[in-house]
Structure 1
Amino acid sequence: MMPPKGRERCQSLRPDILSNLPHNVIDVILIHLPCKDAVGTSVLSKKWRYHWCRRTELTLDESLWKTREDLLNPTVRFREIIYQLLTLHEGPITKFTLDIVHLKRCPEIDNFIFFLRNHIQDLVLHLPFGMRYTLSSTLFTCLQLRHLNLRSCSIYHPYAFEGFDKLISLELCGVSTSSELLESLISHCPLLEQLVLSTSEDLDRIEINAPMLRLLSFTGDISSICLKNVPRLVEASLLGDIEQAESLDFAKVFESCSALEDLSLNFLNSEFVAEEGYKVPTRLPFNLNNVRRFDLPDILLVESYKLSYVLCLIRSFPYLEYLEMQVCDDDDSDTDEESTEDSLEPETLSDLTFNHLGEVQLGSFIGRKSEMQFIKHLLANSPVLERLVINRQFLDEEPLDTREEIFTEISNFLRASPKAEIVYKDLS
């Protein structure tokens, strides 16, 4: 038998602790639980039964309806969940994530967006792959939006749309729309700070007019792009193809990028050629003095119009501190190997200096003559260089004597910086 003191202690713990928790404490608990677990708390007590219905943040994904023995069509179960939310939920929802990328078809969600429209601030809609669900114009009445993330859908804002006055982050991946409407949407978000665009469709020329923009990431094919009004842009990534040579005017692309610090560029079509008689400018008509990092994910180190554009930019980054280059193979080039290797002459690089460059990462290195010429010039014209990191992954496939010969040649190159260290790594 339990001693008297023990019985008294148990009696003192009898009140339902969970039921007596303050509402604000319950809210904090629920907001840190996955949506499915939050709904499950309704069985804890009468006080908890409908408390989840006041959650301001909801995430709906396949974990809500998918089980090992699930015999219902996921779309059917999803409709049931949406219906219950519309019926039971109380108060505003400020953050909502819908991730149904693996459904075979997209259920009707326009009514739910209508339900969210007055209070939603953070909206993520990742819709089924391979489909382009057309969102209704109700989306453009969600005027409290601060973050909007859309994937695999179509959007066409009404002509009466006056803008998202509070939006600071916009991400569109696999979203179908016209270049005109995309340009208009961006310009109607005056506080926009972060813009991510990834498209598989060919876009016409667009101008980015976003005076508060700090980060831009664009992936896709486009006829022309102009960063027209982005005075606060700090980080930009442009990956894809420019379709027409006459459209690639870097002076216009970067004319408003005075604050730019970090640039990643792979924006030269594989079939890129210039019109007869056209000559790439040696440098931009202005310097971008804030650029510190420059990343070239795919560059052929031969004297061509592609390389000329890259050198034009490097000459316009006088305070560059970090350079990363992923050298692509020239096996597919129509030019024979001998003439291609000989095309990077010393005079091509003669006026190229790196007075502030501290580190260089060189990827996919195999010891081509063009690569060796570039490294030689780099070491001789980088007075504060500390590290040259060479990815030796593909070089390791060469015979040992070939590798030793390349390493010896590089080690004998003149170095302007007494601190310059050459490091060979497998960065794969």
Structure 2
Amino acid sequence: MNTLRESSSTDRISNLPAYLAERILMLLPLKEAARTATWSRQWRYRWRNVPQLVFNADFARTRWAETASNVNALVMKIYKAVLLHNNEPSTKFVLAIPGLKPGDEIDPLILHLANKGIQDITLQFLDEFDEFRFGYETRNFASLFVALELNALKLHNCKLLSPSGFVGFSKLTCLDLANVVVDEDFFVGFLHKCPLLEELRMIDCLGCIDSPDIEAPRLKVLCLRTILWTIRFKYTPVLSQVSILDYCDYLSNGLYRYQRGSIDIVDLFVASLPALKQLKLGIEFLLLLAAGNHVPKRLPTPLQHLEVLEMDSLVLDSLPEARVLFCLIMSSPNLKTLTIPSLKSLLEAEDPQGSWGCFQSLEELTINGIHGSQVELDLVTLALAGAPLLRKIVVTTSEYMNLDKSHKFLTGVSYCKRCSKKANFQYIWNGALIERTV
């Protein structure tokens, strides 16, 4: 009887539909997927048809990989697995093993995948930026530029320098670069050869990218963390998510301070970003906007589609930067989520009601690094009293906020009138969360 049950169970596994078997294999690490070859005769070669191959930290810890005495031998192990892989076209390939340095042996591997029509490639080398900058010479993989079926490319710690005859990635929709050296004409050359690009992320990349002119008719998501002097959006009609973050100078262990450059706030937001829904800015970029022409209290045309505004900083310490922030808030009548840094006493010379009385659509407010000033309490009060749709307020304190100031601030909040009965107040002091409905 037991034998019959075991046989029946084995038959069920052996006779699973191909799409279910593939789904199971895709959920398993490569090592475990290969082990399914022992389940039955029908499963012996199924793992070779999985449309994606992932070689990451988990793979590096397997016995198979541990038999490699050096990086070159490890790559040969990976190459062997790729050659055994029968799926055509290959959908996804990930090579992200901690400590792996790129060498000549990587190019033939990529070329093999390119010839099989690979659609998604991730190459991630090392983990530390210092090693990227000083530890070895970064490599450019010529074989990448023959992978013309690519729709997603993610590169960390290498080069992306296109050859003179490069025709472009006509199907590429997502490009993610971190610590990558790019062409001098990256924005006017490389990007123009990617007509379907929808997502572009560039973190701490090197090259002449400090004054980009971006023309990308299908671009929807843009994230930049680099040294900027200026930026122009020449044609981005559907760009809805923009993040421009502060460049971190690892050589001096501090933020890079913009030495020159300016951006006209009206030209940037009114004329160039008609579909903007989410905006995340660093303090350094606010300086560029503040250095432009006169910053108005409101933009001449409101940002009707902007729903999320986030400042990537813990403190806003100068009035010119604050005026840029106020302008963006006052120009966003449909703002739903607002994240801002501590304002210290910057608003004491301003009219709080006039600057912040635009919370009709606000649902979430986050203030980071408060010092317990009256202005910060006034802001919370205005949000509670003037935001009928408010669901949550999150306040985190600075390291200088003592217990007495916290008690005074919370007491002030408890007396606030509220417009929304669903507003939840979260106060985080020294890592401790105090949650209450005010």
1:235 aligns with 2:250: no
Instruction: Give the corresponding residue for 1:261.
Output: 277
Match of 1:283 among 293, 298, 317: 298
Amino acid at match of 1:114: L
Secondary structure, counterpart of 2:296 in structure 1: coil
Match of 1:345 among 349, 352, 367: 349
Match of 1:141 among 146, 149, 152: 146
Checking the alignment, whether the CA contact within 8 Å between 1:299 and 1:307 is kept in structure 2 is: no
**Superposed CA RMSD:** 3.9
Moved more, 166-175 or 64-73: 64-73
Query: 1:81 deviation in Å?
Result: 1.3
1:292–1:89 CA distance, 2 compared to 1 (3 A): closer
Cα distance in structure 2, aligned partners of 1:170 and 1:273: 27
Checking the alignment, whether the CA contact within 8 Å between 2:246 and 2:282 is kept in structure 1 is: yes
TM-score (norm 2): 0.77
Secondary structure, counterpart of 1:80 in structure 2: helix
Instruction: Give the corresponding residue for 2:28.
Output: 33
1:187-336 to 2 correspondences below 5 Å = 187-199=192-204, 201=206, 203-240=209-246, 243-244=258-259, 246-254=261-269, 255-268=271-284, 279-298=294-313, 300-301=315-316, 304-327=319-342
1:376–1:115 CA distance, 2 compared to 1 (3 A): same
Aligned residues: 408
Match of 2:56 among 61, 75, 80: 61
Cα distance in structure 1, aligned partners of 2:333 and 2:268: 18
Secondary structure, counterpart of 1:185 in structure 2: helix
Checking the alignment, whether the CA contact within 8 Å between 2:71 and 2:100 is kept in structure 1 is: yes
Moved more, 309-318 or 41-50: 41-50
Checking the alignment, whether the CA contact within 8 Å between 1:201 and 1:221 is kept in structure 2 is: no
1:100–1:266 CA distance, 2 compared to 1 (3 A): same
Secondary structure, counterpart of 2:310 in structure 1: strand
Checking the alignment, whether the CA contact within 8 Å between 2:93 and 2:118 is kept in structure 1 is: yes
Secondary structure, counterpart of 1:223 in structure 2: coil
Instruction: Give the corresponding residue for 2:362.
Output: 358
- Computing the radius of gyration from Cα coordinates, the structure with the larger value is 1
1:383–1:178 CA distance, 2 compared to 1 (3 A): same
Checking the alignment, whether the CA contact within 8 Å between 1:365 and 1:395 is kept in structure 2 is: no
Cα distance in structure 2, aligned partners of 1:109 and 1:363: 44
Query: 1:206 deviation in Å?
Result: 0.8
Gaps of 5+ in 1: 1-5, 331-340
1:44–1:243 CA distance, 2 compared to 1 (3 A): same
Amino acid at match of 1:257: L
Query: 1:176 deviation in Å?
Result: 1.3
1:152-167 to 2 correspondences below 5 Å = 152-167=157-172
Secondary structure, counterpart of 1:162 in structure 2: coil
Instruction: Give the corresponding residue for 1:423.
Output: 425
Cα distance in structure 1, aligned partners of 2:346 and 2:155: 48
Instruction: Give the corresponding residue for 2:388.
Output: 384
Query: 1:7 deviation in Å?
Result: 10
Amino acid at match of 1:78: L
Identical pairs, percent: 27
Instruction: Give the corresponding residue for 1:114.
Output: 111
Moved more, 15-24 or 229-238: 15-24
Gaps of 5+ in 2: 248-256, 432-438
1:179–1:347 CA distance, 2 compared to 1 (3 A): farther
TM-score (norm 1): 0.79
Checking the alignment, whether the CA contact within 8 Å between 1:35 and 1:58 is kept in structure 2 is: yes
Cα distance in structure 2, aligned partners of 1:12 and 1:387: 57
Query: 1:128 deviation in Å?
Result: 2.4
Instruction: Give the corresponding residue for 1:335.
Output: none
Cα distance in structure 2, aligned partners of 1:279 and 1:14: 75
> Which one has a larger percent helix, Structure 1 or Structure 2?
2
Instruction: Give the corresponding residue for 2:174.
Output: 169
1:279–1:27 CA distance, 2 compared to 1 (3 A): closer
Amino acid at match of 2:35: G
Query: 1:192 deviation in Å?
Result: 1.7
Secondary structure, counterpart of 1:344 in structure 2: helix
1:418–1:116 CA distance, 2 compared to 1 (3 A): closer
1:95 aligns with 2:92: yes
1:189–1:251 CA distance, 2 compared to 1 (3 A): farther
Moved more, 204-213 or 56-65: 56-65
Query: 1:173 deviation in Å?
Result: 1.4
Secondary structure, counterpart of 2:204 in structure 1: strand
1:14–1:179 CA distance, 2 compared to 1 (3 A): closer
Checking the alignment, whether the CA contact within 8 Å between 1:117 and 1:139 is kept in structure 2 is: yes
Moved more, 205-214 or 63-72: 63-72
Deviation string, structure 1 residues 91-132 (Cα, Å, up to 9, x no partner): 422211111232256462111111111311111111223346
Query: 1:15 deviation in Å?
Result: 9.4
Checking the alignment, whether the CA contact within 8 Å between 1:365 and 1:390 is kept in structure 2 is: no
Cα distance in structure 2, aligned partners of 1:286 and 1:173: 35
Cα distance in structure 2, aligned partners of 1:355 and 1:273: 24
Cα distance in structure 2, aligned partners of 1:398 and 1:185: 52
Amino acid at match of 1:261: K
Query: 1:213 deviation in Å?
Result: 1.9
Cα distance in structure 2, aligned partners of 1:169 and 1:378: 38
Amino acid at match of 2:146: T
Amino acid at match of 1:33: L
Query: 1:389 deviation in Å?
Result: 2.1
Cα distance in structure 2, aligned partners of 1:37 and 1:418: 52
Secondary structure, counterpart of 1:85 in structure 2: helix
Query: 1:229 deviation in Å?
Result: 1.9
